[in-house]
Each structure stands twice: as C-alpha cells, then as structure tokens.
A and B are shown apart, each in its own frame.
Chain A
Amino acid sequence: MLRALIERLRVPLLLLLVALALLAIASDRRALARGDRESGWWRGVLLELAAPVQKALTAPVDGTRNAWSHYVALRGVRQENERLRERLAQLEEENLQFREALVEGGRLRTIADMRRDVEVPMRPAQVVGMDVSPWFHSVLVDRGRSDGVHAGMPVVTEDGVVGVITATSPNAARTLLLLDAQSSVDGIVQRSRARGIVRGTGGDGLEFEFFVRGDDVQVGDLVITSGFGGVHPKGSRIGEVVAVHADPTAFAHRAVLRPAVDFGRLEQVFVLLWRGPALDLLYDGEGDQTGPVSETTAGRQTAAPAAAVPAKPTP
C-alpha cells in the first residue's frame, strides 16, 4: 500500500528534488555573492565525520612517504625543520610588514604599534583531504571550532595566502583555496601599488584584474593582499606576475599570476585566528558557530585593525 503510494508520487518527487537542488544552487551562489561563507550545521556533521576517516586514510601513505626522511636519513632534523619553518613564516611575514610600512608611509611605525599589530595568533593545521570534485579547489583541515577556527578566517602558509575557511565543525574545517573560481581577494602590486582583484581560475593559476595603466604591472612583480577585501590581512603574498595582458583601449587589464603557495604540496597550513571587519560585521551575534573569535576560543584576544596584521604563530 505504502509502496504503491510512493510509486504514484514518483513524478511529483522528481520535480520536488529538482526544485530543491536548483533552489540550493541559487541560494548558495547568492550567499557567496554577498560574502556569507558560513554554511549550515548539516555540512559540519559530514565534515566532522570525514576528518578523522580521511586523516586515517592519508596517514599510512603519508607515513610511508615520510618514512625514509623521518626515521632513517633525517632523524631528528624534521622536527627542527618544522620549527624553523614556522619561525621562518613568522619572520617573513614580519619582514613583509616592515617593508610595507617603509613603502607605504616612508617611515617606520612605532615599536608599540608593531607589537600590537603582530599579535595575531595562528593555529597550525594539517591538510587531511582534498575536494571530492576535481572542478572545485578546497581542502579539509583537522582543526575546527574547538580550536577557535571559524568561517571567514584566512589560511596561509609560510609562502603566502592559501584561502579562507568556509565551513566548520567542532574538529574540522573546509578551506576554499585561492585557486577556486569562486575565490577572489583584493591585491596590490608591492612595487607600484597598483590595485586590483585577484581571482582563482579554477585551474593552477590566478588572474589579476587591475584598473591602472598597464605598465604599472610588470612581469616579476609581487602581488600581496591589500587588506581592503575584509578577509585577508594586509601584506600576505598572493603570487608573482608571469604575464600581463594590457589592452590600451580597455578599462580593466589582466595579468596572470603564479601563486606564491605550491597548492600541489599542501600539507601543513596556518589558520589566522582573525576575522576581517567586514566578515565580523556579517557574522557577529550569530552564536558560537559563527561568532567572532574570543579569548576563550583562541587563547588570547585577537581584535586587530584592518591594516597591517602580520601573522604570528601561537606558542
């Protein structure tokens, strides 16, 4: 009886499922367009289940891959290397900020300002899985809300910008990579201060769209985050210009960037426990899952100005 009823409802069910899927696509795109990157709790449930399983699945391969260097050839050196890489990331970020301060204002900021600015903690996280679809670029990391990680937080490595957290569960988070066609970040050329938008192409490269004279952007220029996008702090490396397509008749010009980060070798990343002012306004007051980072979740106060927020790893 029940089966017969269900079978009779086949066509309405088909229409309902198609409508639901189309509605989901439309609402997801609308949410992305207005910058609302936090997804619902249902996504978090699957992330929470996926993270330990995928970690367990990648562990044997990673273990085998690292066995030689870890146990035979580089015994003891690997830990030291990881510590030094972390320190190097911190120093390079600080160095970039100092250079930014020099280029931008022509004078050094006061030591007190710097001390305040650099106090943005990082949370190291391990990449445990990639996107299940080859057409989207995201990674699953083994840190979540219980570690103070929330949607909208930037993710970096010692080389530069990786992406932004888009979904979280208590112990896992999904990071939308800069390469993804849905990603964009406000960037400036460090040498000429030419400003524009860096977009993921969905492939291995990035596209920089800028609105100044073509010769203000040259091959070899370094593009960094401007801090204006409200997601990434100012001064993180995005990529290097490898080609410029400047059409003198066009309003906007394009350049091709080689990402600063080698996305094919992502293993360890750092989540900046900081959310830009635009995202904080968007998510403020929406409960624990979407609320701003607090002392209790991040281990220390993370309020920071929009500009000049270099990264510093947590102890």
Chain B
Amino acid sequence: MRRTALVAWGLALVGLWIVGSAATWLPRAWLPDVTLLVAVALGLRVPGALGLATAWAVGGTADLLSGGPLGQHALLDLGAWLLTRVGVHRVDLARGVVLVPFVATLSALQLLGQWALTGIPGLGREVFAIAIPQALVNAVVALAFQRLLEGLSGRVDPDDPGPGSLRIDAATGLR
C-alpha cells in the first residue's frame, strides 16, 4: 500500500510537470486537474491514514509548483480524498458510469472550494469558460487515470488488493 501511495505521488508530480509544459501551447480548459484525479484514485485504492497523508502531500506538491497560496491545493485534495472515501462506501465508484459524474461533480465542488478559500477565481463567465470544459476533461480522463494507477501499483505493490476487493486486516478489521 505504501508503494501504491508513493507511485500515486510520483504520478501526480510527473502529471503536474506535463500539465505545466502543455499549458504553454494548449488552452488551460483542455488540461485535466491532475492532483484531483490522483486524489480520487487514492481514495479508491489507499484508505486510512496513509491515503489521507498522501492526498495532502499531492496537493502540497501542486501548491509548491503553483503561484497560488500555499496550502489550498492540499486542503482541496484532502477534501476530494475524503469525499471519494465516503463515495466508496455508498456506490461502486470503480465503475466508469459512476466515476465519471462523480469526478465532474468533484471538479465543480473544488472550484467552489477554491473560491471560498482564496476568492480566486471570481465566479464569472470567464471562469466557467475554463471550469466547465475542465470538469468534462477530468471526468473523461478519470477512468483512464484510475486504470493507469492500478496498472502501475499492480507492478510495484503485489499486496495491493485493487479497488472494490474485500480486504480483511487482523489489526483494523473489515474495510
């Protein structure tokens, strides 16, 4: 599980680098919110304190690479991880038909969260012109991202049970 968490963080870092570079020639609205996708993938695969800390670290990495105030991505990605954990207990989020609208909704909630925390962006037409396409891109890419993390963690972490599987741990009971 620790290796999966590490892979997720690495995936977020590489994803942020790619997005930062791609933004020089592609419109921002077409680029996914990598840390949100990683937070969701973590929520699906890494429960407990480790998932919590990793989601925070993923957001913190985005904070360090962004011009925005420190801490806001960390907080928002922590929220995304928590909501995903809540979702996992209620619906089968590993299914694409559930995951896609869930990620689109999370994207909208993150926009509101960002606005509440920093006042940026002001909720106007210009913002929605970016936010709506980006929410759609996030939703479309989410499943592929989830599969990518699944594939990578399957290689490095043979103990990873995968999403939706039943896990019994002597120390913590049924999860």
B117 within 8 Å of A by Cβ?
yes
Residues of A within 8 A of B28 (CB): 130, 134
Judge whether A133 and B68 touch: CB under 8 Å: yes
A18 touches B78 (CB 8 A): yes
Given contacts A180-B67, A202-B122, contact A46 B61 (CB under 8 A): yes
User: What's the count of A-B pairs with C-beta under 8 Å?
Assistant: 161
Prevailing SS type, chain B contact patch: helix
CB-based contact A4/B172 at 8 Å: yes
Q: Within the complex, which residue of A7, A14, A174, A203 is in contact with B172, where a contact is CB–CB below 8 Å?
A: A7
Please measure, in the bound complex, the distance between the C-alpha atom of A138 and the C-alpha atom of B24, giving whole angstroms: 11
Q: Is A28 an interface residue (CB 8 A)?
A: yes
Residue from B69, B119, B171 in contact with A3 in the complex, judged by beta carbons closer than 8 Å: B171
Binary interface encoding of chain B residues 17-34 relative to chain A, with 1 for a CB under 8 A from any of its CBs, else 0 = 111111111001101001
| A interface size (C-beta, 8 A) | 58
- The interface residues of chain B lying within 8 Å CB-to-CB of A61 are 21, 24-25
Bound state CA distance, A9 and B169, in angstroms?
17
Q: Chain A residues in contact with chain B, CB under 8 A? A: 1, 3-4, 6-7, 9-10, 13-14, 17-18, 20-25, 27-29, 32, 39, 42-43, 46-47, 50, 53-54, 57-58, 61-62, 65, 127-138, 140, 166, 174, 176-177, 180-182, 201-204
Interface size class of B (residues with CB under 8 A): 35 or more
**Neighbouring A residues of B73 by C-beta, 8 Å:** 133
Measured in the bound complex, the distance between the Cα atoms of B72 and A29 in whole Å is 11
Q: Which of B45-53, B94-102, B147-155, B158-166 contacts A (4 or more CB under 8 A)?
A: B45-53
Kindly state the separation between the CA atoms of A74 and B56 in the bound complex, as whole angstroms. Answer: 49
Q: Are A25 and B66 in contact (CB under 8 A)?
A: no
